[in-house]
Amino acid sequence: MSNHPAPLVVARDLVKVYGRTPALRGASLELGAGEILAVTGPSGSGKSTLLHCLAGIDRPDTGSVTYRGERVDTLPERRLSELRRSDFGVVFQFGQLVPELTALDNVALPLMLAGSTRGAAQESAACWLDRFGAADQGALRPGEMSGGQAQRVALARALVTGPAVVFADEPTGALDSLAAEQVMTALMRTARESGTAVLVITHDAQVAAYADREVRLRDGAPAGLEVNA
């Protein structure tokens, strides 16, 4: 991969205030095509708010977010939903799987929402569960899985549509160190194989070490840049 991949997601001068509390204070950031970028910083530094703005889950008060040149922060909700179904994958700390569905159907769900038949969606979902070492979890519901198992299923669900970008918000935050290492290894291997860009929010230096580059946030703005070896 080039040291300077083409910008895929670009944030400029993002400001976001909740009540009287500023979460972002002029944050700017670029994520290159196929790049693995870690955003780190202390609790309350604005990491999750930044991810939500980049993924179109929330809108900044001022500033801009573009994806392949298209303004994300001003898009109508219908177009944002399209992007989240096709181009963006999102993983949260606690997976946020649908509790009533099996692991197989959780992973198949984005494909069915995009118009795939149930059979085709389940076939693809089974392949993705296998890629994340969760093939034997297919018939289980989230309440029957460990945290590490559920997070592997959540990652498979985020990647099943072949997104250009995966936004991962503390994906190992609820896991023990062994499960965290297994989940991150699976995510990095799969992202590299498919050329998927990953923006991972983390407070864990070991997780950040998997990335090509690390940006540290402090008080809602980047406080430093580190290129990982």
d(CA 210, CA 2): 17
Predicted confidence pLDDT, tens digits, the chain (229 residues): 445 567 899 999 999 999 888 899 999 999 999 999 999 988 888 899 999 999 999 999 999 999 998 999 999 999 998 888 889 999 887 668 999 999 999 999 999 988 899 999 999 999 999 988 888 989 999 999 988 888 889 999 999 999 999 999 988 887 888 888 888 898 898 899 889 999 999 988 888 998 999 999 888 777 655 444 3
d(CA 189, CA 194): 9
Please state the pTM of the whole predicted model.
0.89
- CA distance to 36, 110, 149, 184, 199, per residue, from 210 (Å): 8, 27, 20, 8, 11
What are the structural domains of the chain? 1-87+205-229 (3.40.50.300)
d(CA 28, CA 173): 25
